[in-house]
Chains A and B, each alone.
Chain A
Amino acid sequence: MTATTSRRAPIAVGTSRSPLPGMWRVGWSRGQVELKAFFRERQSVVFILAMPAVMLVLLGAIFGAQHTGQGATVGDLYVAGLVGGGVMATSYQNLGISIAFERERFTLKRLRGTPMPAAAYFAGKTIQILVAALAEVVVLLAIGVAFYHLRLPASAAAWWTFAWVFALGVAACSLLGIAASSLPRSAARNGVAVITLPFVVLQFISGVYVPFFLVPPWLRHIASVFPLEWMCRGMRSVFVPQAVALEPARSWQHGQTALVLSAWIVAGLVLCLTTFRWQNRRDR
């Protein structure tokens, strides 16, 4: 506001009312803004997007050349595992942290005070996650192909498996991320730790940081309760199908994978519907 002594002309109230913009239009616009915010924020790009790639390069460099004896190197297993982990990072971890901050910084409260449809907010998040998760997968596969002699599957069936494991995994982990965003008491003080810690633990026991066949059975059983293990197994079935003998069940268990991930989608949806708040708890 420039200091001025002249009185401005009256700013008239609009009298004609056009129809409200539709959910898809607003959702698409939310998606654009979410993508800009995500890719411009150094923290999210480094912490969410680059981390799995860095881990793949490191773990691959240290252990990758070892052979499993099943026609695949440990590096191949890491590519598949980190694709699963990367999908969870860009969905669960990304959403959990970003929504916790949006709630604390009153971004959600401000949006709630506008005629933006609630569904458009979630549509925008969905667009952002899909783009980020696909970008993550492309980067990881490129590293795999360039450094670890990963051979991309040629069959449509394998890519179909990739598509449904990816879609169900993104959906389940996104819903869990939205639910987890309500856990930290303060996003700024401990939000990142509260959201990230369970994810790091899961990555160790679900076949991301440590090849799954090396994880002790009792930890494998714990891992099997959560979606990440099934996502990684599905990704191994796509990218290292020859190593099926390393699987605890000696099979890829696709039916069970679809079932467990679907169950988590239902559970996540119920959690979201019962816990999601547009305002933080001190502000209610």
Chain B
Amino acid sequence: MNAPGWAIRARGLRKSYGGIAAVSGIDLEIAPGEVFALLGPNGAGKTTTVEILEGYRDRDGGEVSVLGTDPQRAGRAWRARIGIVLQLAADAPELTIAEMVGHFAGFYPDPRRPAEVIDLVGLTGKARSRIHTLSGGQLRRLDIALGLIGGPELLFLDEPTTGFDPAARRAFWEVIRSLSGGGVTVLLTTHYLDEAAALANRVAVISDGVIVAEGRPADLGGRTAAEAVVSWQDHDRRRSERTEEPTCVVAGLAARYGGEVPGLTVTRPTLEDVYLELIGGRP
């Protein structure tokens, strides 16, 4: 399948294990430079889908093109253009970070500078430390460094911030944004909905091997069209009103209170509310 306009394109992707379907007909179209998040509960088919795109697993049916190549038949030149960040335990415990990253750089035709990548993930102070001395969060950063070292056009991130503290997560998001700003396509799987909302241009929710919703994080599941809840403080009591026209309600309140409305909030269903509803019927 030749799909020059797409970084990733899949049509009718199917895969089953021992007669049990893990992925049953997934379509995906991801544009170059896009950050795309794949959400879904454990066992929904997220990992299977991503590993087919990464070339780790063979599909049973459907068509797939990743950077214009079928991953099932892709060679070294294709692998040099992608970066994979796996969820890994410590490997090569006796090597230092600098040795490990420098070694991986040698696999690629145009690698980034190891020191620069180590700095990017915030491990410069630890560059000469052996890998077995790292904390869980530091190991994840090393995983990310190894995914970035080849200078990929397309980056696969499998739950990248598991084990990060909030400051490290924010900093990692900045790294992803700057990669995306430079034209790197990112396919991200995550359990954290705030992460998907913060990073992704588009989100797809997988449940039971199919995509049940897809769209901009703000629009997912018709969030923008859903009723908003306006609530405020009326003396000692909290009051709220569900409405399709929150602006009118707020204007009315403003007139009634002659300016500032005490404790005013306007909320729509959060991404998490929508997500839980989407996967609700499909455990």
A interface residue numbers (CB < 8 A to B): 1-4, 7-14, 16-21, 25-26, 29, 32-33, 36-37, 40-41, 102, 105-107, 109-110, 112-117, 279, 284
**Across the interface, do B110 and A14 meet the contact criterion of CB distance under 8 Å?**
yes
Number of A-B pairs, beta carbon distance below 8 Å: 127
Q: Is B232 an interface residue (CB 8 A)?
A: no
Q: A12, A40, A113: which contacts B94 (Cβ < 8 A)?
A: A40
B interface residue numbers (CB < 8 A to A): 54-57, 76-77, 79-80, 82, 84, 86, 88-95, 99, 103-104, 106-110, 120-122, 130, 141, 146, 150-151, 153, 167-168, 170-172, 174-175, 177-179, 181-184
Given A18-B110, A107-B92, 10 new contacts (CB under 8 A): A1-B174, A3-B167, A8-B174, A36-B99, A102-B91, A106-B89, A107-B91, A110-B84, A110-B146, A113-B79
**Across the interface, do B56 and A113 meet the contact criterion of CB distance under 8 Å?**
yes
Query: B257 → chain A, closest Cβ, in Å?
Result: 35
Taking CB as reference atom, which chain B residue is nearest A3? B167
**Across the interface, do A115 and B80 meet the contact criterion of CB distance under 8 Å?**
yes
**Across the interface, do A13 and B184 meet the contact criterion of CB distance under 8 Å?**
yes
Residues on the B chain within 8 Å of A13, using CB: 151, 153, 182-184
Query: B89 → chain A, closest Cβ, in Å?
Result: 5
Query: B73 → chain A, closest Cβ, in Å?
Result: 15
Query: B99 → chain A, closest Cβ, in Å?
Result: 7
**Across the interface, do A26 and B171 meet the contact criterion of CB distance under 8 Å?**
no
**Across the interface, do B150 and A114 meet the contact criterion of CB distance under 8 Å?**
yes
* 8 contacts across the A-B interface (CB closer than 8 A): A8-B178, A12-B182, A13-B183, A18-B110, A33-B92, A41-B93, A113-B56, A114-B107
**Across the interface, do A115 and B182 meet the contact criterion of CB distance under 8 Å?**
no
Q: A9, A18, A33, A115: which contacts B103 (Cβ < 8 A)?
A: A33
Query: A32 → chain B, closest Cβ, in Å?
Result: 8
Query: B61 → chain A, closest Cβ, in Å?
Result: 18
Q: B93, B103, B168: which contacts A1 (Cβ < 8 A)?
A: B168
Compute how far the CA of A41 lies from the CA of B90 in the bound complex, rounded to whole angstroms. Answer: 14
**Across the interface, do B153 and A36 meet the contact criterion of CB distance under 8 Å?**
no
**Across the interface, do B107 and A1 meet the contact criterion of CB distance under 8 Å?**
no
**Across the interface, do B95 and A33 meet the contact criterion of CB distance under 8 Å?**
yes
**Across the interface, do B56 and A279 meet the contact criterion of CB distance under 8 Å?**
yes
Residues on the A chain within 8 Å of B177, using CB: 7-8
**Across the interface, do B79 and A37 meet the contact criterion of CB distance under 8 Å?**
no
Compute how far the CA of A36 lies from the CA of B95 in the bound complex, rounded to whole angstroms. Answer: 7
**Across the interface, do A106 and B106 meet the contact criterion of CB distance under 8 Å?**
no
Compute how far the CA of A20 lies from the CA of B106 in the bound complex, rounded to whole angstroms. Answer: 10
Residues on the B chain within 8 Å of A9, using CB: 178, 181
With A10-B182, A21-B109, A40-B94 known as contacts, the answer to whether A115 contacts B76 (CB < 8 A) is yes
